[in-house]
Amino acid sequence: MGKVINIQPVTRIEGHAKVAITLDDAGNVTDTKVHVQALRGFEKFCEGRPVEEMPRIVCHICGICPWAHHLASSKAADACLGVTPPPAAVKLRRLMQSIAYVSDKILHFYFLAAPDFVIGPDADYSVRNVVGIIQAAPDIARQVVKMRQQGAMMLEHFAGRAIHPTFSQAGGVSKPMTEKEREEMLPQANELLEFSKFSINFAKENVFPKYLDAIKSIGVIEVGYLGTVTDDGALDFYDGKLRLMKPDGTYDDFAYDQYVDYIGEWVEPWSYQKFPYAKKWGKLDMSLDHPVGVYRTNCLARINVADKMATPLAQAELEEFRAAFGRPAHFTLLYHYARLIELVQAAETAVQLLNDPEITSTDIRAAVTPKAGRGIGCVEAPRGTLIHDYTTDDNGLITNVNLIVGTTHNNAAINMSVNQAAKLFIKDGKYDQGILNKVEMAIRAYDP
Amino acid sequence: MPVNVVSEWLNACSGCEISILNTGEALLDLLPHLNFVHIPALVDHKYFGQTGDGTTLEIPEAVVGIVSGGVRNTEHEHVLKAVREKVKILIALGSCAGFGGIPAEANMWKNEDVMDKVFRHCVTTESSADPKDPNVPVWTPSCKALDEVVKVDITIPGCPPHPDWIADALTALLEGKTAWALPERSVCDTCPVIREKKSGGGPIKRGMTNLEFNAEEGLETMRCINEQGFFCMGPVTLAGCAGKTGVPRCVQARTPCRGCFGPIRKGARPMVDMMGALTSVGLDPKTLIDRRAIMNRYIGAHGFLTPLPARPVK
């Protein structure tokens, strides 16, 4: 009789999961599972709520990417009520999302992922963490903490709340930006851009080169990708069409409201988290040798599906990345690299928007009235394509909700990457905490 | 000597933890005094030993335990009790831990109705039985606040709590204090808007339009949100959301308060008090849409939200 190795809880991720690795009598891996243990039931308890309240209810799905839920929900509410927000409202929504992206990327790279690379994957757990980073590189750590907070404070000073915002509304936003606010935020956004450039250069010089072998081995799988692009194929966080790419790089583009034709969700008895899959590709199969229907989201997926980045510095980074790793790039740990390319785009976008004269327009909300409708609102959350699908009755109350959130898309892929890493590292019953941490690194790359 | 700290998150969204990080450089000054011996968000300490070979859940001894999120399943109960046993002072961090938070809105339904929706009636989901596995902890009968399961010493409310109060409470504990609480004041007590104790009457307005205000001027020139005829939970909500300085943060966004800091004092009946506050400015609480859910949005534990009996078919 073999044994089961449990990694519980999975740490330095933003959620609750347990990994179970089953070994045969010889001590080799026969099966792995990532059990997601949390379930809250937003799809049910949003029923009956007024649609205009939804953006400030569903943001609570995630305290790390509340802006993504807030904005996807606002877009779904816009669509239910059949209204188009004024251009300045859209620009303010995009600005808030870009700043939130910057804080999010800094958090993941430096606080959650970096300990594995800077302190080392096999180091003792008591130092392999952000406190260890602070001790190892106090000056950089102070700058990281300061810059991450600066993004949060920009959101808070302008929009009242950095976490669980209330700013975006059905039909627009709650307040305009004054010229004074714009003048205060612009230099702060420029500082974030400088720090973003520092971060990607730091990683390219000091981190990634040392871990090329790990990048080429840990968690590697070849599956499809999903992300949002504009009509001319540029990566966009806020709006566009969905692009679903097969592992070979061919793809289908489709509008948000066709998502049910392309995406199905499978339920396994051993996880509360569902398994979205590309249903036109066949029945979901998570086996390592011939996966079917599995696609990934989040930064690596986005930069794979996009023809180009939307901003010049990020585009230069993408070109360098593609020259080294091709398109689509499949190595799982490249998520860390892709995350920093997106960090640059987000910071550049924030600066661009703050230089746009229209951002201070006072025309920020279209008139809305309660009515029956269905609205599908999508944005790219940091962790992937976020889909909010609402139906309202004549009084504008919610009668039906479907949600597919960023990390859920990656459920099948995360299970596969863990399976791959466990089989790669655990042989003949031999394992230690360093090996188990490398298995977890396959999860952390996805920033679930 | 640094103080040992255990931190856990249960039915949580991570917003409380992000708020801790938003303490910013103040956090770096506090860190040398705190020794996080268990914090799954940041440190790889495991429940059953580092290679998972243990048989009992091991939480290290600590002076302070910080727990965010409410209790939604049997594993949350298990972890919470284990933390309580090992710490001298237990802090409930945030509104989910304190009084249920948003996830406790699920308490308006029976568990089986929630599961039925999630696993059998979502448009992209292939209808399936509820997940059932030894590694998938079963739901508790309702979504609970921590003090419905164990003794809680300090509650830092808010969704999320303001970083000022997190730093303030931890500093108080480091100074040897064992209690900490926000003063019992309402959001209105800290809100600078103009109040005339009357509204224009009529049905309570939904958030389909923006408030009336001049964006070039501060809140001191804006009329009270309830008096503008919209619904704002300020009168019955504990003050402090903007930290030690600043104005209520939702009002700062020119949006109404929804009560995320919870009741002003333990044992209050916010729904009853809020109906009184609306009436006092000439608004009819019966015209508020989705009244029960909106007035109990963050406080659905402690029995405030329960399934209603099915309505008779007309």
Indicate the residue type of B161: P
Number of domains in chain A: 2
Contacts of A15 in chain B (CB under 8 A): 14
Q: Do B157 and B13 reside in the same domain of the chain?
A: yes
Indicate which of B136, B162, B193, B214 best probes the interface with A, i.e. most A CBs within 10 Å of its own CB: B136
Question: Domain ends where: B122, B141, B174?
Answer: B174
Contact A181, A362 (CB under 8 A): no
A290 located within any domain: no
Q: Do A120 and A193 reside in the same domain of the chain?
A: yes
Number of domains in chain B: 2
Q: Do B20 and B151 reside in the same domain of the chain?
A: yes
A258 to chain B: closest CA residue: B124
Mark yes or no for CB contact B51/A432 under 8 Å. Answer: yes
Q: Do B107 and B199 reside in the same domain of the chain?
A: no
Tokens of A424: 């790669």
A261 to chain B: closest CA residue: B124
Please compute, for residue A118, the number of CA atoms within 13 A of its CA located in the half-sphere on the CB side.
Answer: 25
Indicate which of B44, B130, B249 best probes the interface with A, i.e. most A CBs within 10 Å of its own CB: B44
- Cα radius of gyration (chain B): 21
At residue B176, φ and ψ (nearest 5 deg) are 100, 0
Q: Do B207 and B272 reside in the same domain of the chain?
A: yes
Q: Do A90 and A25 reside in the same domain of the chain?
A: no
Mark yes or no for CB contact A61/B13 under 8 Å. Answer: yes
A367 located within any domain: no
Question: Domain ends where: B130, B147, B174?
Answer: B174
Q: Do A343 and A423 reside in the same domain of the chain?
A: no
Mark yes or no for CB contact A45/B255 under 8 Å. Answer: no
Mark yes or no for CB contact B22/A162 under 8 Å. Answer: yes
Q: Do B163 and B237 reside in the same domain of the chain?
A: no
| Per-residue confidence (pLDDT) for residue A2, from 0 to 100 | 78
Mark yes or no for CB contact A174/B253 under 8 Å. Answer: yes
Indicate the residue type of B178: T
Question: What are the DSSP calls for A292-312, one per residue?
Answer: BS-EE-SHHHHHHH-SB-SSH
Whole-angstrom distance, CA of residue B83 vs CA of residue B90: 8
Q: Do B237 and B146 reside in the same domain of the chain?
A: no
B87-93 and B154-156 beta bridge pairing: parallel
A284 located within any domain: no
For residue A35, the surrounding DSSP H or E stretch is: strand A29-36
Minimum-distance CB partner of A163 among B25, B160, B211: B160
Mark yes or no for CB contact B46/A8 under 8 Å. Answer: yes
| Per-residue confidence (pLDDT) for residue B313, from 0 to 100 | 63
Q: Do B186 and B166 reside in the same domain of the chain?
A: no
Contacts of A50 in chain B (CB under 8 A): 206-207, 289-290, 294
Q: Do B164 and B200 reside in the same domain of the chain?
A: no
Question: Domain ends where: B174, B205, B233?
Answer: B174
Q: Do A356 and A423 reside in the same domain of the chain?
A: no
What is the domain range of residue A352? Answer: 84-217+332-362
Whole-angstrom distance, CA of residue A93 vs CA of residue A68: 10
Minimum-distance CB partner of B160 among A37, A164, A176: A164
Separation in Å, CA of A397 to nearest CA in chain B: 9
Residue B172: CB atoms within 10 Å? 14
Mark yes or no for CB contact A6/B48 under 8 Å. Answer: yes
A179 located within any domain: yes
Mark yes or no for CB contact B25/A149 under 8 Å. Answer: yes
A69 located within any domain: no
Give mean pLDDT in consecutive 10-residue pieces for chain A, a chain of 448 residues. Answer: 89 91 96 95 98 98 96 98 98 98 93 88 89 88 92 96 98 98 98 98 94 93 98 98 98 98 98 98 97 98 98 98 98 96 98 98 97 98 97 98 96 97 96 95 91
Please compute, for residue A265, the number of CA atoms within 13 A of its CA located in the half-sphere on the CB side.
Answer: 26
Would you give the distance in Å from CA A427 to the centre of its chain? 33
Q: Do A121 and A197 reside in the same domain of the chain?
A: yes
Contacts of A128 in chain B (CB under 8 A): 44
Which residues does B164 contact at the CB level (< 8 Å), separation at least 6? B243, B244
Q: Do A336 and A204 reside in the same domain of the chain?
A: yes
Q: Do A106 and A199 reside in the same domain of the chain?
A: yes
Contacts of B135 in chain A (CB under 8 A): 18, 20, 33, 35, 37, 270
Contacts of A431 in chain B (CB under 8 A): 51
Separation in Å, CA of A320 to nearest CA in chain B: 32
Q: Do B85 and B222 reside in the same domain of the chain?
A: no
A263 located within any domain: no
Mark yes or no for CB contact A11/B216 under 8 Å. Answer: no
Contacts of A12 in chain B (CB under 8 A): 40-44
Q: How many Cβ pairs closer than 8 A exist between chain A and B?
A: 279
| Per-residue confidence (pLDDT) for residue A448, from 0 to 100 | 84
Residues of chain B with pLDDT under 50: none
A40 to chain B: closest CA residue: B103
Contacts of B289 in chain A (CB under 8 A): 50, 395, 397
Tokens of A22: 């089953």
Angle, helices A87-106/A334-354, rounded to nearest 10 degrees: 140
| Per-residue confidence (pLDDT) for residue B314, from 0 to 100 | 57
Closest CA to A159 of B16, B249, B226: B249
Contacts of A148 in chain B (CB under 8 A): 21, 24
Tokens of B312: 């008779």
Contact B92, B150 (CB under 8 A): no
Separation in Å, CA of B20 to nearest CA in chain A: 10
Indicate the residue type of A52: E
Contacts of B157 in chain A (CB under 8 A): none
Mark yes or no for CB contact A397/B290 under 8 Å. Answer: yes
Q: Do A89 and A209 reside in the same domain of the chain?
A: yes
A398-404 and A384-392 beta bridge pairing: antiparallel
Q: Do B70 and B215 reside in the same domain of the chain?
A: no
| Per-residue confidence (pLDDT) for residue B245, from 0 to 100 | 87
Minimum-distance CB partner of A44 among B109, B124, B260: B109
Please give the order of strands across the beta sheet that includes B154-156. Answer: B34-38, B3-9, B62-68, B87-93, B154-156
| Per-residue confidence (pLDDT) for residue B9, from 0 to 100 | 96
Q: Do B215 and B253 reside in the same domain of the chain?
A: yes
Whole-angstrom distance, CA of residue A431 vs CA of residue A83: 57
Mark yes or no for CB contact B290/A37 under 8 Å. Answer: no
| Per-residue confidence (pLDDT) for residue A1, from 0 to 100 | 54
Separation in Å, CA of A115 to nearest CA in chain B: 10
Q: Identify the residue whose tokens are 């996009």.
A: A306
Distance (Å) of CA A24 to CA A30, A308, A346: 6, 46, 47
Q: Do A23 and A121 reside in the same domain of the chain?
A: no
Please compute, for residue A59, the number of CA atoms within 13 A of its CA located in the half-sphere on the CB side.
Answer: 25
A314 located within any domain: no
Indicate which of A156, A383, A386, A447 best probes the interface with B, i.e. most B CBs within 10 Å of its own CB: A156
pTM above 0.95, yes or no: yes
What is the domain range of residue B14? Answer: 3-174
Q: Identify the residue whose tokens are 């992922």.
A: A113
Contacts of A271 in chain B (CB under 8 A): 131, 133, 136
Contacts of A175 in chain B (CB under 8 A): 210, 213, 215, 253-254
Q: Identify the residue whose tokens are 């937003």.
A: A42
Contacts of B230 in chain A (CB under 8 A): none
CATH number for the domain including B93? 3.40.50.700
Q: Do B280 and B245 reside in the same domain of the chain?
A: yes
